[in-house]
Amino acid sequence: MIYKNWWKWTGFILVMYTVIAGLAIPLGPGIASITPASTRAGDTVRIQIHTVNAHFLKHPAGLQAGLLGTSIAIKPFQIRSLANNQLEAAFVIPSALIRSRGTVNLLDLEVGSDYDGMLIYRQSLEVLPDTVFLNGHKSSAIISQAKLEVHKVTPAWFNFPYRTIVYESIRNLYFHVCMWFAMITLFFVSVVYSVRYLKNGSPKDDRIAAESINVGVFFGILGLITGTIWAKFTWGDWWPNDAKLNGTLISMLLYLAYIILRNSLEEEQRRARISAVYNIFAFPMMFVLIIVLPRLTDSLHPGNGGNPGFSSYDLDSHMRFVFYPACIGWILIAVWLVTLRLRMRTIEYKIEDEI
Amino acid sequence: MQINLFRETWTLLKKEAVLEWRTKNSIQAILIYALSTVFVCYWALHTTEPPVWNALFWVIMVFSSINAAAKSFMQENQARQLYLFTMASPQAMFISKLIFSSVIMVVLTLCSIFLYSLLLGFPVIYPDKYLLCLVMGALNLSAIFTLLSAIASRAGNNMTLLSILGLPLVLPVIFILIRFSASTLMGAVLMSGSRDLIALAMLYIIIVGTSLLVFPYIWRD
Residues A284-308 pLDDT 10s: 889 888 887 777 776 677 766 555 5
Domain ranges in chain A are: 30-143, 167-354
What pLDDT does residue A141 have? 44
Distance separating alpha carbons of residues A233 and A163, to the nearest angstrom: 13
pLDDT, residue A187, reads 96
pTM: 0.82
Q: Give the pLDDT confidence of B119-159 residue by residue, as tens digits.
A: 888 888 888 889 999 999 999 999 999 999 888 888 777 78
User: Across the interface, do A254 and B169 touch by the CB < 8 Å criterion?
Assistant: yes
**Cβ neighbours of B195 in A, within 8 Å:** 296
The B-side interface with A (CB below 8 A) comprises 147, 151, 154-156, 158, 161, 164-165, 167-169, 171-172, 175, 195, 206-207, 210, 214, 217-218, 220-221
Domain A30-143 in CATH: superfamily?
A: Immunoglobulins (2.60.40.10)
Smallest Cα distance from A296 to chain B, Å:
10
* CA-based nearest distance A199→chain B, Å: 10
Domain assignment present for B16: no
The model's pLDDT over A187-201, given as tens digits with 9 standing for 90+, comes to 999 999 999 999 998
Strand (E) or helix (H) holding A47: strand A44-52
Tally the domains of chain B: 1
Chain B's closest residue to A282, CA to CA, is: B169
- pLDDT tier at B191 (50, 70, 90 boundaries)? low
Q: Work out the minimum CA distance from A190 to partner chain B, whole angstroms.
A: 16
Write out the residue range of the structural domain in which residue B89 sits: 21-219
Would you call A347 an interface residue with chain B, using a CB distance cutoff of 8 Å? no
| Any domain includes B8 | no
Residue B188: pLDDT band with limits 50, 70, 90: low
Starting at the earlier edge strand, list the strands of the sheet with A44-52. A30-35, A44-52, A86-92, A78-83
| Spatial CA neighbour of B76 closest among B31, B139, B12 | B12
Q: Has residue B206 been placed in a domain?
A: yes
Residues B148-174 have a mean pLDDT of 86
Is there a domain that residue B145 lies in?
yes
**What separation in angstroms does the CA of A326 have from each of A2, A177, A181?**
22, 10, 10
A324 touches chain B (CB under 8 A): no
Contact B115, B159 (CB under 8 A): no
Q: What is the mean pLDDT of chain B?
A: 84
Cross-chain residue pair A274–B168, CB shorter than 8 Å:
no
Model confidence over A199-243: pLDDT tens digits? Answer: 998 999 999 999 999 999 999 999 999 999 999 988 888 888 888
For residue A254, which residues of chain B lie inside 8 Å, CB to CB?
168-169
Cβ pair B175:A293 closer than 8 A:
yes
Alpha carbon distance A180, A182 (integer Å):
5
Is residue B52 within 8 A of residue B59, CB to CB? The reply is: no
| B84/A2 Cα distance (integer angstroms) | 57
- In the predicted model, is pLDDT for residue A143 greater than 50? no
Conformational region of residue B106, where left means phi above 0, alpha means psi within -120 to 50, and beta covers everything else: alpha
Secondary structure of residue B44 in the 3-state scheme:
helix
Mean pLDDT computed over every residue of chain A: 84
**Residue B75 or residue A85, greater confidence:** A85
Does residue B84 belong to any structural domain of this protein?
Answer: yes
Contact: A264, B156; criterion CB under 8 Å: yes
Q: Across residues A124-152, what is the average pLDDT?
A: 60
pLDDT tens profile A146-170: 456 666 677 888 888 888 788 888 8
A253:B167 CB<8 A: yes
